[in-house]
Structure 1
Amino acid sequence: MIDSLNDSPPVLLVGASTRAMAFSAIRSGFRPICCDRFADADLQAVAETHRVTEWPDGLPKVLDRYPDVPVMYGGALENAPELLERIADSHPLWGVHAGPLAAVRDPFRLASELTRVRVNMPEVRDPSSPPEPDGTWLLKPLAGSCGRGITIWNDQAASAATLDEPHYFQRRVDGAACSALFIAPPDRSDVRFVGITRQLIGTSQLHAPPFAWCGSIGPMVLPVGNEHLIRRMGNFLSWSFELCGLFGIDFILDSQDNIWPTEVNPRYTGSAEILELSCGLHLIHDHACQFDPDLAARRESLLPIESPADQNPVLGKAVLYSDRRFTIAAGQSWDCSPPAMSLPAIADIPTEQQVIGPGEPICTLMQAGQTQADCESRLQAAAAAMQDELRASPP
């Protein structure tokens, strides 16, 4: 752990993977205490870390060791409102609480609210009225995260595991997967629009499962009319669902530049660190101030973020998945202490002797480029180089 953080205010970070949040918290002057499923090597190098094997039910047992320390949650916990309500009984919760969380994660409620302001969302259906399995619909789990369990609804999907859990159907829309990030204030005034990223979904070069989120590239600039609509959506949804702090809206940008929102992630998102690093922001500080306004006085003491935006204004991250089962070799030549104030080349680094199976994430690669296409090309080259290195490892 970084010694200079010992006098910084603590914050408990919980999520399937907390490395990105932890680096953001350090940039914002906090001392992160992290509870997640992986306890990656680069996370352990900068923060007190707890690997929670009984996920997520084992979280309260760890959090109880730190009474009164604020809790901020990340990916996958948006699907556990009852657990978050329990956490909020014993800790300040810097995030959307259980009631609004359950409401905004309900695709039928979301579609109904967006219809009120004439925003088109892809049609949704519940299991009682399934569409024809003709390939024009998606089967999605209600408790989905990062694309888990999504499949094309066709004859082959009749045996999909997603049918064994609460699920729904959403009409397919072809186009670019994107995400917009906002910070909502507690008084229901206008949200702060942070930016837009393009999402990498099911990228074959990264061995990502179909529909799996596997990275972000940004910031992304859209026509003024589209950006105005996105800002309007952010305001309306924050007012309608009483959102507070960081939240993201995932959407599809079709070939006619139409925007189709698909879901809301009311938490720190996977693309947040890309916008933070490219724009020189302190997003967790700004998020925390929505729950504890006294923290605003600390802004002047925050160190500037080393952004490569002057030379390469577009940043990207790509999650490399495994196509086989293998063990991380001892002495693997990865730097496990990347600077938290700048862009690391490799992040979410697995620990030595960790066993990684097919379809599981290995690490995250980061690159900067002149354009979206240039950045994506550099990410693909970095992924190819990493795969060449890993192929030398014994299975």
Structure 2
Amino acid sequence: MIEPVPTKGDLLIATFSARSLAASARAAGYRPLVADLFADNDLRDLVADFRTVDGDFVSGFDGAALLSALESLAAGRDLVGIVCGPGFEDRPELLDAIAERWRLLGNTGETVRRLKDPMGFAGLCRELGIRHPETRMERPASDEDGWLSKRAGAAGGLHIGPLAERAPSPDRYYQRVVGGDRRSVLFLASGGKAEILGLSEQWPSPSPTEPYRYGGACGPVTVADGHAEGMRRAVEAIAAAIPALVGLGSADFLLADGEDPVLLEINPRSGASMDVFERPGHPLLRLHIDACEGRLPGPAGALPKEPVRAAGFAYLGVETVTVGAVDWPDFVSDRPMPGTVIRFGEPLCTLKADGPDADTAIALFAARLSAMKSMIEGSFA
């Protein structure tokens, strides 16, 4: 492990895959102490210490194992606090338990409950005049078309599917299909206010059973002025209605010509767009912690608009591979350790591609994705 040069102290990080958060924390002057599911090769070069926690993307963390790992990492440390990324949307009780032990730099379990309760969020959007897909908890009749089944609190699109392909369960809800282009807003919130940091476009990477699986994102991008204004108003209205909303977050929208944006969800934490918007000299974790302490950057904190970056996941397309020694290119992150066994449909690594515009960056990303999958699946399958 390469020991970071600390200037601001020790920072706990808990999330499914922590490399982007750890890199941003280190760039912001903190010493990262990480608990995640993978402990990928490049993560180990960023952290002061780490623990690998049992769990997976679908079922989440083993809560007891996570708390034990964090306790071990925190022992004897003078902590600044803890930052939690993806992995808690359906486990707000874990956030509650974490907040009882350490200073939580981010959203509380109660804030996550409010934003991830399907009917509560639908009602809030209705009260604020924000377009949101028709939502219900009761499964529509089997002969009704145009509905999706989703799991409350889940992320990454793995849980979303057509009505006929998802079995009923108490944690599932149903949304009317809405057309439009997928765009996401990265924002900072504090004290009932929100500031937009950038917009990205997103795309899926479908599998035979997961048609909405997250593939990647590209940004910063621009949208029509009317859509940009509508997205800004929606995010600001949510922040004002839930003044406890704090730090980095994202808002996912669908945009269609001549119509107001449709807000799909608010993610009250950092996410995959960190790889899109993180730039040298502008660590997003610094902005996040400032916001948690009541400071929003204003115009002076604007992120660089160039280059445009595409970033996303490579999913394994063969039955299984045991990763060997690989001379990974610089554009690959989350590199699995030699000996790691990866199974069909699991994420293999993260790839990035820069360009002067979104089309160029996405085309380069697609070419790199194809080359990396062919190399790994051909060499180790």
TM > 0.5 fold call: yes
Amino acid at match of 1:101: V
Matches within 5 A, 1:115-154: 115-127=126-138, 130-154=140-164
Provide the rounded CA distance (Å) in 2 between the counterparts of 1:308 and 1:191. Answer: 19
SS at match of 2:351: strand
Structure 1 equivalent of residue 125 of structure 2: 114
From the superposition, tell whether residues 13 and 295 of structure 1 become closer, same or farther in structure 2 (CA, over 3 Å). farther
Instruction: Give the deviation of 1:252 after TM superposition.
Output: 1.1
Q: Which moved more, 1:324-333 or 1:79-88?
A: 324-333
Q: Work out the CA distance in 2 between the residues paired with 1:373 and 1:295.
A: 32
Aligned to 2:334: 348
Report if the CA contact (8 A) 2:255-2:261 is conserved: yes
Change (3 A) 1:176 1:203: farther
The match for 1:388 among 355, 370, 374 is 374
- Looking at structure 1, the residues matched to 333 and 145 of structure 2 have their Cα atoms a distance apart, in angstroms, of 36
| Aligned counterpart, 1:36 | 36
Match of 1:263 in 2: 265
Structure 1: which amino acid aligns with 2:171?
P
Of residues 209-218 and 131-140 in structure 1, the stretch that sits farther from structure 2 once superposed is 131-140
2:174 maps to: 169
Check whether the contact 1:17–1:37 (CA below 8 A) recurs between aligned residues: yes
Q: Which amino acid aligns with 1:200?
A: W
Per-residue deviation, 1:318: 1.8
- Asked if 2 retains the 8 angstrom alpha-carbon contact of 1:181 and 1:195, the reply is yes
CA distance in 2: counterparts of 1:197 and 1:394, whole angstroms: 34
Give the equivalent residue in structure 2 for 1:26: 26
Corresponding residue of 1:181: 186
Conservation of the 8 A alpha-carbon contact between 1:218 and 1:274:
yes
Structure 1 CA distance, aligned partners of 2:143 and 2:261? 25
Deviation at 1:367, TM superposition (A): 0.2
Contact 1:141 1:165 in 2 (8 A): no
Q: CA deviation at 1:8?
A: 4.3
- C-alpha spacing 1:133/1:367, structure 2 compared with 1 (3 Å): farther
Structure 1 residues 212, 295: closer, same or farther in 2, change over 3 A?
closer
> Which residues of structure 1 form unaligned runs of 5+?
297-304, 336-343
Identity %: 27
* SS of the residue 1:3 aligns to: coil
Question: By how many angstroms is 1:294 displaced?
Answer: 9.8
The 1:226–1:366 alpha-carbon spacing in structure 2 relative to 1, beyond 3 Å, is same
Q: Compared with structure 1, are the counterparts of its residues 377 and 201 closer, same or farther at alpha carbon in structure 2 (3 Å cutoff)?
A: same
**What corresponds to 2:326 in structure 1?**
332
Q: Is the 8 A contact 2:316 2:377 kept in 1?
A: no
Distance 1:263 1:131, change over 3 A: farther
Structure 2 vs 1, CA of residues 34 and 7 (structure 1 numbering), >3 Å: closer, same or farther? Answer: same
Measure, in 2, the Cα distance between the counterparts of 1:165 and 1:41.
Answer: 38
Maintained 8 Å contact 2:317/2:377:
no
Residues 63 and 329 of structure 1, relative CA distance in 2, 3 Å threshold: closer
Query: Match of 2:111?
Result: 100
1:78 aligned counterpart, secondary structure: coil
Aligned-pair CA distance for 1:60: 0.6
Using CA pairs below 8 Å that are at least 6 residues apart, which structure has the higher relative contact order?
Answer: 1
Residue aligning to 1:73: 84
Residue equivalent to 2:197: 194
TM alignment of 1:287-306, pairs within 5 A: 287-292=288-293
Offset at residue 6 of structure 1 (A): 4.4
Contact 2:7–2:29 (CA<8 Å) still a contact in 1?
Answer: no
Q: Give the length in aligned residue pairs.
A: 364
- Relative to 1, partners in 2 of residues 1:369 and 1:106: Cα closer, same or farther, differing over 3 Å? same
> SS at 1:13's partner residue?
strand
> Amino acid of the residue matched to residue 3 of structure 1?
E
Cα displacement string for residues 169-207 of structure 1 (whole angstroms, at most 9, x for unaligned residues): 01111222221111111x32x312111111121357xx9
Structure 2 CA distance for partners of 1:255 and 1:269, relative to 1, 3 Å: same
Q: Note the C-alpha offset of 1:232.
A: 1.4
CA distance in structure 2 between the partners assigned to 1:14 and 1:176 by the alignment: 32
Residues 286-328 of structure 1, C-alpha deviation per residue, up to 9 Å, x if partnerless? Answer: 11123346999xxxxxxxx9x792xxx3101020101113334
Tell me if structure 2 keeps the 8 A contact 1:218–1:315. Answer: yes
Letter aligned with residue 62 of structure 2:
P
Superposed displacement of residue 3, structure 1? 2.8
Partners of 1:203 and 1:308 in 2: CA distance: 29
**Letter matched to residue 56 of structure 1:** D
Q: Which aligned pairs between 1:245-324 and structure 2 lie closer than 5 A?
A: 245-256=247-258, 258-277=260-279, 281-292=282-293, 309=306, 313-324=307-318
Compute the displacement of 1:272 (Å).
2.4
> 1:107 and 1:293 mapped to 2: Cα distance?
28
Tell me the equivalent position of 1:13: 13
Please tell me whether the aligned partners of residues 71 and 91 of structure 1 are also in contact (alpha carbons under 8 angstroms): yes
Separation in 2, partners of 1:363, 1:257: 37
**1:31 CA displacement:** 1.2
Q: Deviations over 1:109-147 (max 9, x none)?
A: 1121111222210100112x5255444111000131111
Letter in 1 for 2:249: F
Give 1:41 shift: 0.7
Q: Is the 8 A contact 2:220 2:305 kept in 1?
A: no
Preserved contact between residue 219 and residue 315 of structure 1 (Cα < 8 Å): yes
**Equivalent-residue separation in structure 2 for 1:308 and 1:366 (angstroms):** 16
> Deviation at 1:379?
0.7
Report the alpha carbon displacement of residue 269 of structure 1 after superposing the two structures with TM: 1.6
| TM-aligned CA deviation for residue 332 of structure 1 | 1.3
Q: Which residue of 2 aligns with 1:3?
A: 3
Change (3 A) 1:293 1:184: closer
Bigger mean CA offset, 254-263 vs 53-62: 254-263
Shift of 1:349: 0.8
- Aligned AA (1:213): Y
C-alpha distance 17-132 of structure 1, shift in aligned 2 (>3 A): same
What is the RMSD of the two structures over their aligned residues, measured on CA atoms?
2.4
- The residue type equivalent to 2:66 in the other structure is L
